[in-house]
Amino acid sequence: MKPILTTLALGLALSAGMPAWAAGEHGHDHGAASPAMTNASLSEGEVKKVDKDQGKITLKHGPIENMGMPGMTMVFRVQDASMLDQVKAGDKVRFQAEKMNGALMVTKLEMAK
């Protein structure tokens, strides 16, 4: 009876981690965006400051759904420095932000329509 209980307990313990494993979430952050993040809708924001030397942008933004973040004003790094050539303080933008290598990064930036 004891081997059956041990096997059952082991099977339950292993199956508890299956949904994360099947979704490709192994608890490792390699800096790559998950499919859910890649397909996330863009957030609305207003450019407050552009710092080309540091590769940063300050945005006053609404909620960032893919990160569970409420609206606020904050500084982000940009994935591609050329993004900063397209905007200036006061511009209304739509953007996607993700956590990459421990930093919040704008991975997509476009002018709001």
pLDDT for 39-74, tens place per residue?
458 999 999 999 999 999 999 999 999 999 999 999
The predicted structure's pLDDT at residue 107? 96
The predicted structure's pLDDT at residue 46? 98
The predicted structure's pLDDT at residue 28? 43
Residues 6 or more apart whose CB falls under 8 angstroms from that of 97 comprise 43, 64, 66, 67, 76, 104, 105, 106, 107
Q: CATH number of the domain at 30-111, out of 2.40.50.320, 3.65.10.10, 2.60.120.310, 3.30.470.10?
A: 2.40.50.320
Q: Which of 63, 108, 54, 61 is nearest to 86 (CA)?
A: 108
Residue 54's φ and ψ, nearest 5 degrees, are -95, -10
The predicted structure's pLDDT at residue 41? 83
pLDDT for 11-43, tens place per residue?
545 455 544 444 444 444 444 444 444 445 899
pTM (two decimals): 0.64
The predicted structure's pLDDT at residue 9? 52
The predicted structure's pLDDT at residue 113? 83
